[in-house]
Amino acid sequence: MRLPARDAELVQIVDAALADASRRAGDFLACRVGCTQCCYGAFAINALDAARLREGMAALRASDPSLACELGRRARAWLAEFGAGFPGDATTGALGVSLEEQARFENFANDAPCPALDPATGRCDVYAWRPMICRVFGSPIHAAGDDGVEGLGHCDLCFIKATLEQVAACELPVPHALETELVNEIGSSDETIVAFALLP
């Protein structure tokens, strides 16, 4: 899958919005290098995120082959440990869409570190190409909760003593329409996980 040219525009919009939301949040936002709570557990990424990660891996193979090799090793080790329980197609990496597979995914690899996480530094080794969920996690964004009701959600470590008004004032707007347009351009509704996207 080729990465759409306008993905750079999407990334720029989201990163600028994140910088502005972070400025407004100040000390309420706990996200720092080494804070890795959000880097544990498998999570779904769309075809656009997967294409961006694959482009990032291609760039790393050219600029930093040893890091690309290490990321590949971590991804293969991750799949060797957790792949047998993957609720989907273990050949293509596509997550299953049945209710049973979705239910299994809720409890899949919940304590596993993301293979992109450098365990020694707490940094993401594919930070420039990270999925959208990773870019917006922490700041308040509109999302459906476990009860299906939409509201402002944020990382549990952030906005500890903030009022609802303070949280709302730091909302990060997410350009869902542009992201959906680019996913449609790729032409795949399949979701996967980071480990599969890091491998050729």
Alpha carbons 81 and 63: distance in angstroms, whole number: 29
Specify whether the CB–CB gap between 127 and 53 falls below 8 A. Answer: no
What is the pLDDT at residue 137? 86
Q: In sequence order, which ranges of the chain are alpha helices (DSSP H)?
A: 7-25, 47-63, 65-82, 99-106, 132-136, 164-168, 176-186, 194-197
Q: Cβ–Cβ contacts within 10 Å for residue 26, how many?
A: 9
User: What is the sign of the dihedral through the CA atoms of 96, 99, 101 and 106?
Assistant: positive
Task: Please identify which residue in the block is written with the tokens 């959208």.
Answer: 132
Per-residue pLDDT for the chain (200 aa), expressed as one digit of tens each? 789 999 999 999 999 999 999 999 999 988 888 788 889 999 999 999 999 999 999 999 999 999 999 999 999 999 999 999 999 999 999 999 999 999 999 999 999 999 999 989 999 999 999 999 999 888 888 776 666 667 778 888 888 999 999 999 999 999 999 999 999 999 999 999 999 999 98
In the chain, the amino acid numbered 131 is P
Two tokens, residue 196? 């599969």
Predicted structure pTM score = 0.90
